[in-house]
Amino acid sequence: MDVFDAIAGHGADLAGKFAAVDPRLLVLAAVLHVSNHILRSFAWRNILTAAYPDRRVSFTGVTAAYASGVALNAVIPARGGDAAKLALARAEIRGSSITTIGATITVLLPFDLLAAAATLLLVGVTGDAPLTVNLDSAATTGTWLTGNLVLTTAIVAGTAMVAGLAVRYLRPRIRQVWERIRQGGAILRTPRRYLARVALPQAVAWICRIGVVMSLLAAFGLPASPALAALVMVVAGASTVVPLTPGGAGTQQVLLAYALSEAASSAAVVSFSIGMQAGVTAVNALLGIGAAMIACRSLRAVSLLRQRMGVADAA
């Protein structure tokens, strides 16, 4: 009976945490989350417009593709929504290719990596999580390579030979793929345009993301500071590095309970983590369905999106 009493006690504690949540802060978090979606869709649409200057690239269609992909990532493991995002964008832009559209997605990565590194640095500098670099494994690897010089040389030579043969026989195909990749990164050749129409919206989107986490922390009665919000973002991102479950469910709760153990009780952290993940998933789902309905101009958005993805895959 003690075990069941303990479980009931934890359940009551969690229910109490949810009951005490400030709804106004939840609304603020939802508004900031939607703003993040819109800003990132705007940046992606500008990249697509630069890649296809002679085509009409609908902001509504791009937003629908982005929102649908994010919504599917929340319920499908292994980031299956990213494939849907690319397929829907390809169906939206006539004559486009998956390679070029995939390249446009990678244009968003440099700023995201820079912002993620800055976030991680903020966490380390404030002491919320230690930043340590372990060089032992690198030193061990270097010692092994030096001690097995003949084997290392054979591996390098074999790899170079295979790469050379591949380039020789696949050169026409590689050239074609490279041209499509260059087309996707066309906006990078105009730095001022990239900074104004891609990097700036992404920067504001990151501020919105931090605002979402801070609003949710405050809503659940936890300390709401930029450093703690950055820590939550780092942990949430780490839980999806190996996406075995949709949205990193389960993994995220365990990591956050450990990372925030000094900031609040386990019940408070778990209730915050569950509430954040459930709320973000719900908003993403509503955004995906709503954007799809607007883009397709139909209430049968799911079936029409499935048809578009089928056409894009067959093209």
pLDDT single digits (tens) 14-30: 555 666 788 898 899 99
- Closest by alpha carbon to 111, among 168, 58, 43? 43
pTM here is: 0.73
Distance CA 296, CA 215 (A): 33
For residue 50, pLDDT over 90 is answered with: yes
Long-range contacts at 300-305 (CB < 8 A, ≥ 24 apart): 305/68, 305/84, 305/88
Q: What pLDDT shows up at residue 297?
A: 61
Give SS3 for 135: coil
Is residue 282 within 8 A of residue 34, CB to CB? The reply is no
Helical packing angle, 266-296 and 251-259, nearest 10°: 140
CB 202 within 8 A of CB 111: yes
Mean pLDDT of the chain: 75
Tokens of 13: 């504690």
286 touches 74 (CB < 8 A): no
* Token pair in block for residue 155: 């591996």
Distance (Å, rounded) from C-alpha 256 to C-alpha 166?
45
47 pLDDT more than 90: yes
Q: Is 95 in a helix, a strand, or coil?
A: coil
* pLDDT at residue 267 tops 50: yes
Range from 132-136, 156-160, 172-176 carrying the lowest mean pLDDT: 132-136
Condensed to tens digits (0 to 9), the pLDDT of residues 92-112 reads 888 889 899 999 999 999 998
Asked whether the beta carbons of 234 and 255 are under 8 A apart, the reply is no
| pLDDT tens per residue across span 79-88 | 667 888 888 8
pLDDT greater than 80 at residue 69:
yes
Is pLDDT of 292 > 90?
no
CB 50 within 8 A of CB 304: no
Report d(CA 201, CA 230) in Å as an integer: 19
Residue type, 45: R
State yes or no: pLDDT of 280 exceeds 70. yes
